[in-house]
Chain A
Amino acid sequence: QQQVKQSPQSLIVQKGGISIINCAYENTAFDYFPWYQQFPGKGPALLIAIRPDVSEKKEGRFTISFNKSAKQFSLHIMDSQPGDSATYFCAARNSGGSNYKLTFGKGTLLTVNP
């Protein structure tokens, strides 16, 4: 059972364009929604995160939009740059249980063409 569904699987954007990646979830016990950026051969790095009581969070060129009623959240990368080319994972943290585990989406390979 895939608890966090991420789309698209891959995305090609021109430099300066907007990259949009979407995620959806079902588990209402999720209480924290981070996005990670991963370059080949490296571990994931936290990019930006949001809690469900906020509808939008912006940090520089990166914005998360969160729709609690629809159980959906998305990452928008404004003015996309070739250096943004990486794999992006959405995740959701489960507040149920004792360890607050993260569940990851399947990832989106973003390519920004110069």
Chain B
Amino acid sequence: GAVVSQHPSRVICKSGTSVKIECRSLDFQATTMFWYRQFPKQSLMLMATSNEGSKATYEQGVEKDKFLINHASLTLSTLTVTSAHPEDSSFYICSARARGTGRLDTFGSGTRLTVV
């Protein structure tokens, strides 16, 4: 089955620094990847959609300059949280979708970001 690897699983960084999270589709080519944010005991909120080779589309209220998304290849998308602050601490989850699969999404295992 489709597998999506997300790395790192958890990261602690100092306020003001940047953190990069990787999302890889291991056994399929992902034409579209999604990035979600999930606060404790809450639902997944879509942050942005990235299509390979084009700029990401951000949801309303998500700062594109703060959350940089790169989808440079069909198997890799990255989310960089720039100038991180404690309020950016959250669980970030990616999902990937292959062409021709009825648009079914496979989720990564998530990244717990803690900004201190």
Chain A interface (Cβ within 8 Å of chain B)? 32, 36, 41-46, 49, 89, 93, 99-107, 109
Contacts and interface: CB of A to CB of B under 8 A. Distances in A.
Contacts of B93: 43-44
Contacts of B46: 101-103
Contacts of B102: 32
A102 B42 CA distance: 16
Interface of B: 4, 6, 32, 34, 41-44, 46, 49, 51, 57, 91, 93, 95, 97, 102-110, 112
Q: Lowest 8 CB-CB distances: which A-B pairs, in order?
A: A43-B107, A43-B110, A43-B109, A104-B43, A100-B103, A99-B49, A106-B43, A104-B44
Contacts of B108: 43
A107 B44 CA distance: 9
